[in-house]
């Protein structure tokens, strides 16, 4: 908590029943934490440095996305370097002095990471003049949700979307006779 105060980010956590909750980090606060949070009080120095390197390289990728002069080839090289660090494996025998904890497994690579590393460079090369913002769908998603809510269809819209999203795994809305929602 002290470190969050030191970097000027308001953050609170509390316990409800047996679960811990916290205030969400949004927008600029996420970037401040990513760029400035001191990991040394929490982790051993070697681990803190490794995490800091991962965070710094990700922040650099984020900044490069806003740079209109970066080529897709350079971005791809930096993104692949970051991915290699992200996938740093653990080495040594667990519970011995030789063990060094890695980061993530290949199975932990999300579709977002895949797109960042393997498709964003292509977008930058082929569609550089539009900028990366041209590839965001958030405006379309926001407009769709806003339109449905504005038309007083929010409950039906949400139930319909949740039902449609969850059907493949057997969860449907409470309005469905076979539903488990």
Least confident of 55-69, 76-90, 151-165: 151-165
Write the DSSP symbol of residue 21.
E
pLDDT of 162 over the 70 cut: no
> By three-state DSSP, how is residue 87 classified?
coil
Largest CA distance in the chain: 63
pLDDT of 143 over the 70 cut: no
> By three-state DSSP, how is residue 100 classified?
strand
What distance lies between CA 152 and its chain's CA centroid? Answer: 32
pLDDT tens string 34-73 = 999 999 998 999 999 999 999 999 999 999 988 888 899 9
Task: Tell me phi and psi for residue 42, to 5 degrees.
Answer: -100, -40
What distance lies between CA 107 and its chain's CA centroid? Answer: 15
pTM of the model: 0.68
* Rounded distance between C-alpha atoms, residue 115 and residue 105, angstroms: 17
- Percentage of the residues of the chain whose pLDDT score is greater than 70: 72
Between 129 and 104, the more confident residue is: 104
pLDDT tens string 7-35 = 999 888 888 888 998 888 888 999 999 99
Helix then strand then coil, % of the chain, to nearest 5: 60, 5, 35
């Amino acid at each position: 908590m002290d470190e969050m105060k030191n970097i000027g980010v308001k953050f609170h956590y509390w316990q409800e029943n047996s679960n811990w909750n916290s205030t969400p980090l949004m927008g600029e606060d996420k970037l401040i934490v990513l760029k400035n949070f001191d990991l040394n009080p929490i982790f051993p120095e070697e681990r803190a440095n490794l995490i800091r390197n991962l965070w710094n390289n990700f922040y650099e990728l984020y900044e490069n996305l806003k740079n209109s002069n970066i080529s897709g080839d350079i971005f791809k090289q930096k993104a692949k370097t970051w991915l290699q660090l992200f996938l740093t494996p653990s080495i040594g025998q667990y519970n011995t002095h030789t063990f060094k904890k890695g980061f993530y497994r290949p199975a932990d690579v999300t579709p977002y990471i895949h797109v960042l590393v393997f498709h964003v460079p292509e977008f930058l090369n082929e569609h550089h003049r539009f900028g990366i913002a041209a590839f965001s769908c958030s405006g379309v998603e926001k407009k769709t949700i806003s339109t449905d809510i504005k038309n007083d269809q929010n409950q039906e819209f949400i139930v319909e979307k949740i039902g449609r999203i969850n059907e493949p795994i057997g969860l449907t809305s409470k309005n469905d006779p076979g539903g488990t929602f």
